[in-house]
Amino acid sequence: MEGGFNRKLLVLSLFPALFHYLCSSTDMCTNTILPGSKGDQGEVGQEGDQGRLGKSGPPGPPGAPGEIGFKGEVGHTGKMGPTGDTGEKGDSGLAGPTGLKGKAGTTCDCSRYRKVVGELDVNVGKLKNTVKFVKNVILGLRETEERYYLLVKEPRRFREALMNCKLRGGNLAMPKTRGTNRLIADYISHAGLTRVYIGLQAQGKDMDGARGYVYADSTLLHGFAAWSHGEEIIPSTSPPTNSSCVELLSTGTWGHTECDVTMFYICEFPKSRRRGGGGERGRAVPVLT
């Protein structure tokens, strides 16, 4: 038993010496151990569990515009807007062809009816002259086929004059035609005045930087204008809210004026139409006080 143990101990003590001898040989220690050939491909493993969602990346560039869609159906009809103001009377049309000759009337004794009609015509003529006297002399009104014009001899600023005309049931006078402009100018001259406010004012700049004029009824100035020489250019040295109002001179020309200046003004009142009654024209009664 003891002899076997000694033999094992001897073999273990000789093993390092043998290993050192073998490694000291050049042929043994310089050889490289090469890997073996590649084995066969293994089987595909099972699909793993889905990983967690990552953070959202930055937005991509805009895509190309899509094709234009089909035209949609017509929408519901909207509510009817407010009725606009009555426009200026147009030119008379061409005369129509002559009608056919009517049948002969029956003979009757109409002398007494003609007498009554004649008396009515005389009374109507007197009444018309009286109304004209009241309007032109007592009330101091001027009129066209569409409107009355009243000179208010109360010095007011532009905005105050505008509001006062509205309180009277009208608007600050807007001479949109040559005839109306001449009528108001003569009205001013006969009253012994030199200038009055009219319902025209320069508006602020739009998106294009341009400026124009707007009437008291919010319509833009177009067509007729009666600027004096050089006055058609809106002054740019002062703010539009201060120096953009318009005055009408007794000569019939327009000019710029400060909106804070107090002066007389002219109101206009539309002539209303009666409903029914064959289309006869009624008379609007302006508030004079």
* pLDDT tens column, 59-112: 889 988 888 888 888 877 777 777 777 888 888 888 888 888 888 776 666 777
* pLDDT tens column, 233-245: 554 444 444 558 9
Rounded to whole angstroms, the Cα distance separating 194 from 185 reads 9
Q: Which two tokens stand for residue 40?
A: 């066969």
Mode of pairing for the β-strands spanning 171-172 and 263-270 = antiparallel
pLDDT of residue 158: 96
209 phi-psi bin (left φ>0, alpha ψ -120 to 50, beta other)? left
Q: Which two tokens stand for residue 265?
A: 């003004």
Q: Could you tell me the pTM of the whole model?
A: 0.49
Q: Which two tokens stand for residue 200?
A: 């025209």
Reported residue count of the chain is 289
The CB density around residue 208, as the number of other CB atoms within 10 Å, is 6
